[in-house]
Amino acid sequence: GAVVSQHPSRVICKSGTSVKIECRSLDFQATTMFWYRQFPKQSLMLMATSNEGSKATYEQGVEKDKFLINHASLTLSTLTVTSAHPEDSSFYICSAIGGASYNEQFFGPGTRLTVL
Amino acid sequence: QKEVEQNSGPLSVPEGAIASLNCTYSDRGSQSFFWYRQYSGKSPELIMSIYSNGDKEDGRFTAQLNKASQYVSLLIRDSQPSDSATYLCAVGEGNQFYFGTGTSLTVIP
């Protein structure tokens, strides 16, 4: 199956700082990547959809100036949480589609963000 | 609003039994259907994808799709304690995907 990596797996930062999370498709070219957030014992919440070379499409209620997404290549998307606050603490998961399984979505392992 | 509904559970089955997970969706235009398994604290893992009516089997897993009834299910045969997880149903239309809230499954040894 297709492999998606995320880095870092875990990050702790101080309130007011920015955090960048990388998502890479390792063995396929990802036409589209997705960013999700998941709070404990809650379901996945789609934050945004990004296509290589174009601006991300954000879901309603997600602040695009706070959650900056850059899909620089067919294998890399980044999510930057700017001016993080404790309420941004969550599990951030990326996923990607592309390759032979044209619309099967493969998830990265996730990044657990804790904002102090 | 496109909806994907799952019984949140928890669903408990004894080891060796068949676990049956169900999902309904609201949009008749949906084209692709997926089951994901998510262990606590981990990200979802794709188990099955199904695109046409009928059954699709992969090892102990069988996905069943009935587009007329807008219903997709996942059967897990010979359930094992390692199958204990939350199972997410997802429905796709092109590059848009809609997830259910998941069903928690516990397999009792």
Give the DSSP letter of residue A55: P
pLDDT tens sequence across A23-79: 999 988 988 999 999 998 888 999 999 988 888 999 999 999 999 999 888 899 999
pLDDT at B89 over 80: yes
Percent of chain B with pLDDT over 90: 89
Residue B2, min C-alpha distance to chain A (Å): 14
Tell me if A96 sits within 8 A of B97, measured CB to CB.
no
Q: Which residue of A has its CA nearest to B31?
A: A103
pLDDT tens sequence across A77-88: 999 999 999 999
The answer to whether B72 contacts chain A (CB < 8 Å) is no
Query: H or E segment at B55?
Result: strand B54-58
Give the DSSP letter of residue B6: E
Query: Could B32 and A103 be called an inter-chain contact, meaning their C-beta atoms sit closer than 8 Å?
Result: yes
Taking residues B40-66, report their average pLDDT: 96
The confidence band for B95, taking pLDDT boundaries of 50, 70 and 90, is: confident
